[in-house]
Amino acid sequence: MGKTAFVFPGQGAQAVGMGKDAFDTIDASRAVFERADEALGFKLSDLIFNGPDEALKQTVNTQPALLTVSIALLEAFRKQGITADYAAGHSLGEYSALVASGVLSFEDAVRTVRARGEFMEQAVPSGQGAMAAVLGAERDDLAALCAAVSAETGAVELANINCPGQIVISGTAAGVQAIVERGKEAGAKRVVPLEVSGPFHSSLMKPAAEKLAEVLANIQLGDAAVPVIANVTAGPAVEASEIRRLLAEQVYSPVLWEDSIRYLIGQGVDTFIEIGSGTVLAGLIKKIDKSLKIISINSASSVEATVI
């Protein structure tokens, strides 16, 4: 019998109206939205269900919104009696994975990611940082080009190693623009600028990491009941002290998503259950290994329909 991993999406998966059917029809899900509103002191649920889209896209709102939808769907899904051997999340999604594995309470998580979003938005003045998706380049070739551009033009680094042929870069606006223009030198077929409010997962985020570390120092973290695969190391993190350190580092370190999935495959995981808005992670995981079973739990109906 193969093993199962729960995986949770990060920024980019959000959509106005996400989770509404679960809120309307599943008591356990509705309770999570109500707990988020209470923990934050404003109606996050209203913003999630009704928008406007521009407000939901602001990092400071997107992060608690995606976490809330993931945990609302997780609470509904738990009734199916399916358990995970491992958990992982993409960037922000790592917090959902940590809630799922009992490391931190939902209330602490939703307040922390709201602060994380604020710190990330504040770290670099608007317009000075950027991100772009690089399609078709090999990791080592792109890393070498980034190093050259960083020395000549402005800092630019690998930010998300998502799947073969898809890597996101992050850094100064000038550095990212240079990769847009010179991507072919690293074998890129296309370089697509992303609509983001800052250069996430680059060294420019170190001021945000320092502030986040202060917040994390005052929150109770427990050891993980289920190993969580950390973005920073692509390996399991179980001890609270290590998780606390890695969460601060995660803000300015690359998200090693492809490596994380390959690690899980190596541990015998053949079923991945994506819990939260959209199907972004299902798409990435399929590109890593087509033979895996991938299920997306992104609505009330998908909770009911799931059979492994």
Catalytic residues: 91, 201
Give Cβ neighbours of residue 252 (< 8 Å, ≥ 6 apart): 201, 202, 203, 204, 205, 206, 208, 209
Q: Which of 70, 58, 80, 87 is nearest to 32 (CA)?
A: 70
DSSP 306: -
- The CA-atom distances, in angstroms, between 74 and each of 13, 77, 83, 231, 298 are 16, 5, 11, 21, 10
Give Cβ neighbours of residue 147 (< 8 Å, ≥ 6 apart): none
Burial environment of residue 195 by CB neighbours within 10 A (0 to 12, 13 to 18, 19 or more): exposed
